[in-house]
Structure 1
Amino acid sequence: MIFLARRLAFYFAAFFLAITFNFLIPRLMPGDPSDRIIASFQGRLNESQVAAIRQSYGLEGSLWEQYLTYVGSVFRLDFGISTVQFPEPTASLLFYGATWTLVLVGLAIALAFTIGSIMGIHAAWNRGGFFDSFFTPINVMMNAFTPAIVALVLFYAFSLQLRWFPLGRAHDPNLMAAFNFQFIGSVLYHATLPVLSIFLVSFGGWHLGMRNVMINLLNDDFVILARAKGLSDNRVKYRYVARNAILPQITSLALSVGYMLGGALVTEQVFNYPGLGKFTFTAIGSRDYSFIQGQLLLLTTAVLVANLLSDIANVILDPRLRKG
């Protein structure tokens, strides 16, 4: 519990630091979010109307007052108003895009981590065999590609040329959102290529990581003792070696969340998928500071939460941390 309490305090401090940087960086840039809205009215606004617009973006008062207002609005999940889709609240756009990005990245991470780790276990246990010699070099090669390259190739081959998959959207526009097989099937069908593009460039890393850690553990004393006691290969492989080797994998999983979300930004743009990536590219081009701020804070929060969950999983799996 002491370990988790310390980690929780660290992540809470990191979250406040992220809020502070997120507040300061746009204010160090020339102009502010309200300038674009005010300029679009071409001088037809009076002083009270200009002040109301600036107040809606939290730009009234001293810098310290603006900071306190911003911190309070963050904890209320109020990220301001989008300048691209004025007067749509930024929070509604963020959570809509985050829902689809979570579907995309969640499926890709789950598949890549599970399949890659299982392949790594078998490659390490049969080191030098056909499975290890054939798949390990292929995964090293796939791990060198970027999500953007793989996404473009898949989109060109299977969407533009073969037309096996749609050109965009998260589901059939003729279907209403509902928890039924037809809608879920449509969501999975539209997400197939984006998920595949992220999966192909990431599962090799989990394979190599699991393989290397397991190889280092195979000659440890506890493994030699387990074999000397006559335990079955499967029990030694999974209960003894893989259980210890999975701990660094879980830590790497938490650290990879930011990379995965970054890769999803490009992937969503290629496949015209309505996630955070597509909205972020539009926001950057239109200087929608409110959305960019909210997206960066959401990304930071996702990474911090993933690391906290990783620490909790390590405490559950590693008795040494519980005793410490």
Structure 2
Amino acid sequence: MRYIVSRLGFYILAFLGAVIINFFLPRMMPGDPIQSFLGRLAQTGGQITPEMIASLEALYGYSANAPLFEQFTSYLFSILAGDWGTSTRFFQPVMDVLSRGMLWTLLLVGSYILVSYTITTLTGIYVAWKRGTWVDSIITVGSVIISSIPAVVMALLIYFLFASDLGWFPTGYGYNPDLDPEASFKFIGSVAYHLALPLLSMVLLGMGGVMGMRSNMINQLGEDFIVMGWAKGVKDKKVMLQYGARNAILPMITTFAMSVGSIFAGSLIIEIIFNYPGLGQVMFQGMLARDYPLIQGYLLIMTIMVLGCNFVADCLLFILDPRLRSQLD
């Protein structure tokens, strides 16, 4: 328990540091969100008054004349109170805007984690067991080549081949607009149909995990307890799965936790290319409009997810690895 509490304290400090960066980073970008909004308003013929500017600054929590420390204090207390501000792009609370895209991003990323890590883990175990054979050579070389393709190139190739040219899959959105969102096989099938290509792109990009699992498995196969298992006549399948794979998976938990940030960054690009209605689309529009509250809200959610996944990984390692518990006793 002492270990869990200490890790939790570390992640709380990391979160506070991320909040500081999250506050100052958008303000280092060129441009002023209030002036950007007023510029769009002037293009439509709207009248701009000093009272209007003051009201907008109060509404969005941003003032070019207010000291940064005062802005940061107000921002911090607003976050703790659950008020993440109002979007200057959508004119709605940031939480409402992000919640609409969050469900779709979680569906995409969650499906990727389930599918990709299952495939890479099982494949890595198998090729490690078959190391030195033609199966090992083909799978390992192929996984390295596929995972080395940039995310933008991979997504565009799949998009133009299967969606634009062949027309086998839709070119955008999360489900058929003619359907009403409901718990029906037709709606769920439509969601899965629209999810297929973005998910395929991310799974192919994550095939590099095969090499990581293969390396971990090969290291385990050289341990004394594996040799002892063979010497005692234990079946190969049991040695591979219960002896070797069980220990080789532990480092993959840490690797997964450390890669959560890059997974969400990759999903952002995928969502934009496939016009998928996730947080990537929301973030892209917010950056174009210099929507500070929305950008800060997005980065804050990503911070919470990354730190949360790392904390869960630490807890799992503590539970699954008796060596870690013995070191702390």
TM category, shorter: over 0.9
Give 1:77-92 correspondences, 5 Å limit: 77-85=82-90, 87-92=91-96
Q: Which residue does the alignment assign to 1:153?
A: 157
Question: Is the aligned partner of 1:302 residue 2:311?
Answer: no
Question: Normalising by the residue count of structure 1, what TM-score does the alignment of the two structures yield?
Answer: 0.93
Match of residue 319 from structure 1: 322
Aligned ranges 1:54-69 → 2 under 5 Å: 54-59=57-62, 62-69=67-74
Aligned position for 2:76: 71
Contact 1:3 1:321 in 2 (8 A): no
State how far apart, in whole Å, the 2-side matches of 1:34 and 1:274 are.
Answer: 26
Q: Which runs of 5+ in 2 are unaligned?
A: none
Task: Return 146-155 or 124-133, whichever deviates more.
Answer: 124-133
Partners of 2:29 and 2:133 lie apart in 1 by 58
Q: More displaced, 112-121 or 4-13? A: 4-13
- Shift in alpha-carbon separation, 1:88–1:214, aligned structure 2, 3 A: same
1:252 to 252, 255, 259: 255
Match of 2:125 among 121, 124, 131: 121
* Residue 2 in structure 1 maps to residue 2 in structure 2: yes
Q: Distance in 1 between matches of 2:41 and 2:198?
A: 40
Distance in 2 (CA, whole Å) between partners of 1:67 and 1:27 is 11
Q: 8 Å contact 2:60–2:88 — kept in the other structure?
A: no
Q: Which amino acid aligns with 2:145?
A: M
* Count of matched residue pairs: 322
1:139-170: per-residue Cα shift (whole Å, max 9, x none)?
11111112211111111111111111011000
Provide the rounded CA distance (Å) in 1 between the counterparts of 2:82 and 2:153: 35
Q: Name the amino acid aligned to 2:14.
A: A
Q: How does 1:120-139 map to 2 (within 5 A)?
A: 120-139=124-143
Tell whether the 8 Å contact from 1:34 to 1:53 is kept in structure 2 after alignment.
yes
**Aligned twin of 2:16:** 16
Distance in 2 between the 1:31 and 1:144 partners?
A: 36
Q: Quote the offset at 1:316 in angstroms.
A: 1.6
Deviation of the 1:41 alpha carbon: 4.6
Q: 1:240 to 1:297 in 2, by over 3 A?
A: same
Q: Is 2:166 aligned against 1:162?
A: yes
Q: Is the 8 A contact 1:269 1:277 kept in 2?
A: yes
User: How far has the Cα of 1:247 moved from its partner?
Assistant: 1.1
CA drift of 1:92 comes to 1.1
Report how far residue 185 of structure 1 moved: 0.8
> Which is worse superposed, 12-21 or 72-81?
72-81
Identify the match of residue 190 of structure 1 among 194, 204, 224: 194
Native 8 Å contact 1:254 1:310 kept in 2? yes
Matched, 1:173 2:174: no
Question: Using the alignment, how far apart are the partners of 1:126 and 1:231 within structure 2?
Answer: 18
Instruction: Give 3-state SS (helix, strand or coil) of 1:188's partner.
Output: helix
Shift of 1:314: 0.8
Share of identical aligned residues, percent?
A: 42
Listed as ranges, the gaps of 5+ residues in structure 1 are none
Q: Is the 8 A contact 1:33 1:290 kept in 2?
A: no
Over 3 Å counting, the alpha-carbon distance change for 1:161 and 1:38 in structure 2 is closer
Q: Shift of residue 111 of structure 1?
A: 0.8
Q: Provide the C-alpha distance between the structure 1 equivalents of 2:132 and 2:147, rounded to a whole number of angstroms.
A: 20
Instruction: Give the Cα–Cα distance (whole angstroms) in 2 for the partners of residues 305 and 31 of structure 1.
Output: 33
Taking structure 2 as the reference length, the TM-score comes to 0.92
Change (3 A) 1:286 1:162: same
- Preserved CA contact (<8 Å) 1:33 1:57: no
- In structure 2, the CA distance between the partners of 1:67 and 1:178, relative to structure 1 (3 Å rule), is same
In the TM superposition, what whole-angstrom CA distance separates every residue of 1:36-85 from its partner, at most 9, and x where no partner exists? Answer: 23444548344443222111222365433322221122233322111222
Query: Within 1, Cα distance between the matches of 2:224 and 2:52?
Result: 75
Deviation at 1:97, TM superposition (A): 1.1
Q: Letter of the aligned partner of 2:144 in structure 1?
A: V
SS across alignment from 2:156:
helix
Displacement of 1:284 in angstroms is: 1.5
Structure 2 equivalent of residue 36 of structure 1? 36
